[in-house]
Amino acid sequence: MPLVSIIMPYYKKDLYVEKTIESIIDQSHKELEIIIIDDELSKNSNEVLKKIQKKDQRIKIFFNEQNLGAGESRNKGISFAQGEYVAFCDCDDLWNKYKLEEQLKFMKDLRIDFSYTSYEIIDKNSNIIGFRDASYDTSFKSLLLSCDIGLSTVVLKKRFFDNQNYFFPKIKTKEDFVVWLKLLKDGVEMKGLDKKLTSWRKLNDSLSSSSLQKIFDGYKVYRYYLKFNIIKSFMYLFLLSINYLIKR
């Protein structure tokens, strides 16, 4: 069975991280390592993560020297990864017990190197408040209009990150959106497994729930990372925002 490296930046998720880790430890696919990057750098985060590390010998904790943000912390985590595959899980999301097993089989059957799944949306109390269904196919043109690939659902070959062009950029939100778009633009085949194998936690005080931050970073995606001109960047930002409002 292939080794999967799970990358998890940690920042002020002490209320949820233990449940998240338990959902990963409980995976039916046992060949995994959990790489947690402490980006909070506080006495509390140190205590929380040291306690969690005792749960399983496959958990590895690394500490940033300064706050880097989620994207750069993921890059650091990937640099320590030993697995053939890399997966991502935010420290407040949850995985179905069979997520990795089913997703790896899906990828092996299709002979692909990147996959994502459908997911549930849960609130702070883990109540289900919505769903996102994964389309089987996605393309560069379709993803430009709507970021429908959930970060915590993704599994891909680690070898992609041998290319620094695919590192996560230093923006507060949508850093994963940039990576997926660059991979698609370069012809990487991505397929979606329409099974809800992940629960994404929507918190009102999180960066990913800030509409203003999403708009600001969305513009950066098109203008600075995809090198679109100003008019084209605003056009795609408008369409992205409309699709976001429809999905809400």
Domain ranges of the chain: 4-203
Where are the strands (E) in the chain, listed by range? 4-10, 32-38, 59-63, 85-88, 94-95, 114-122, 128-132, 155-157, 191-201
DSSP sequence for 73-99 = HHHHHHHH--SSEEEE--TT-EE-TTH
> What pLDDT does 214 receive?
86
* Res 206: pLDDT: 57
End-to-end Cα spacing for the chain: 39
Q: What pTM, to 2 d.p., does this model score?
A: 0.94
- The CATH number of the structural domain formed by 4-203 is 3.90.550.10
Q: How far apart are CA 87 and CA 178, in angstroms?
A: 17
Residue 169 DSSP SS3: coil
Q: What pLDDT score was predicted for residue 244?
A: 83
Q: What is the pLDDT of residues 53-80, one digit of tens each?
A: 999 999 999 999 999 999 999 999 999 9
- Would you put residue 41 in left (φ > 0), alpha (ψ -120 to 50) or beta? left
Q: What is the model's pLDDT at position 205?
A: 64
The pLDDT, as a whole number, for residue 1 is 86
Provide the pLDDT for residue 245. 82
17 backbone dihedrals φ, ψ, rounded to 5°: -60, -35
Write out residues in the chain with pLDDT < 50, as ranges: 209
**DSSP-derived pairing of the beta strands 191-201 and 94-95:** antiparallel
